[in-house]
Amino acid sequence: MDTTYNVKFWKTGVNVGKRKTTHTVRWELNGREHRQTFVTAALAESFRAGLVSAARKGEAFSLSTGLPVSHISQAAGVTWYDFVIQFVDQLWARTSANNRRNVAKALTPVTIALLRSQPTAFKGVDVRRALREYAFNTLRRDQAPPEVAVILRWVQRNSLTMAAWEDEDTVETVLRAAGMKLDGTPVAASTARRTKRVLNVLIEHAIKKKVLKENPLPKGKGAASKISSAVDKRSLLNKEQAAKLLGWVHARPRGGPRLHTFFATMYYAGARPEEVVALDVGDVRLPDADADDQWGELLLHTAHPEVGRQWTNTGEVREQRGLKGRAADDTRTVPCRPALTRILRAHIEREGLKPGELLMQGEKGGDLAGSVIRRAWRRARKEVLTPYEFGSPLGRRVYDLRHTCLTNWLNAGVPAATVAEWAGNSVPVLLATYARCIDGQLDDLKQRIEGAGELPDPAAAGV
């Protein structure tokens, strides 16, 4: 328990300021001073009397909050580590594998910050790995290797109680620690926001369980770093650059045509990587080879995000899920332009694929590995782009192929609502993400503005 009976009181202090006078109650627990300030002497004396009365009754005081245990919530009766384990386990069954991983990442630095003392017998990276990969993984916790189990037992013994969240200084210390990497550099703004979101969910759970009385996390617009959702225009590929990159991939001696089909589907259809790898041959609706109209369509209804086998219920690297932001059985139809129709038809014939089989497969069957995709794209950029372009954001991520496709659709004049439907986004999200990338229509817009008419020239009117 994070409590003590070693308490000492001082007389109430009076602080006379220029605008007002305050009264401060000071007391000491195990050599650490605590204080509480009040606007009137009566309030201060009443608070001090309550502390003294609790001490005379032999009541324990919390080292985290400085208050008698009867004055605080049930937080002093449960450690942070034990509560987090319970939180992770109740969350596990109803969340995706990717969310499980994000929760574990968010809780790891917070847990280290809520230790009575920092670990000296273990390396920092080992403690983080033990927490992230085992303690906060419901399926793997009991399978922790002996050296990891030793670390987790030490963390459990040295964890502060939930009462630490009732101390403002501790909350600030925890948030600072959560915003730093192991090497002392700040985490990305998106990571900081995700950690704050996870902590809010956890603390609301603690309030529901009556472990905490209120949410101590700071609120308001200034509580988190600003995050821009807009696409960096420098990351978009022009037609020539995309052609060179995909051409290099196609010429690869090992799996080149297969990977070319994957990248081409992203570039022409704007699908997410996890949606492309989940495509079934039967979901590719192509016209006959001799048809006049060579437009087809892709039916997207499943995604296979890559999260790691330790986070999925099946033990597979990828998790099978519905489309992002949609109901589990929802379907999205995306047009397949003639260029992509030819590529997909050739791919299906070359691989000998049939309906019911995955369109994009690895060399040995099954899902196309994300590591293979990223490695091929990185090598293509290095071989095709100039040193300056390679070091720039230009096509740095495979996902930039999707950004390029959606931008091209918008610049071609496709209505935003239609692009949003094809892309699987809402219209507000689409516009917020791609508004800075829309161009090519300025001349037409200028003509429309001028066509609305202008005010008469005062000089010509004789005014």
Backbone conformation region of residue 440, classed left if phi is above 0, alpha if psi is from -120 to 50, else beta: left
Q: Bridge partners of 28? A: 8, 33
**Per residue in 379-407, pLDDT tens?**
999 999 999 999 999 999 999 999 999 99
Pull the structure tokens for residue 66. 């400085």
pLDDT value, residue 462:
59
Q: How far apart are CA 377 and CA 315, in angstroms?
A: 27
Q: CA–CA separation, 114 vs 177, rounded Å?
A: 10
CB neighbour class for 122 (10 Å; exposed up to 12, middle 13-18, buried from 19): middle
Residue 136: half-sphere exposure toward Cβ, Cα within 13 Å: 26
10-residue stretch averages of pLDDT, the chain, 463 residues long: 85 86 92 89 90 92 82 78 95 91 94 90 92 95 94 94 87 89 84 91 93 83 58 93 96 92 96 95 94 95 91 88 81 95 95 93 88 95 96 96 94 92 92 80 71 75 57
Of 41, 4, 100, nearest to 305 by C-alpha is: 100
β-sheet bridge partners, residue 284: 298
Beta bridge partners of 36: 25
pLDDT of residue 442: 62
pLDDT, position 405: 95
Give kind and range of the element (H or E) at residue 363: none
The DSSP result for 405-416, as a single string, is HHHHHHHTT--H
Q: What's the pLDDT at 437?
A: 80
Q: Give residue 323's pLDDT.
A: 87
Candidates 450, 309, 292, 285; CA nearest to 359 is 285
Tokens (6 digits) for 25: 């109650």
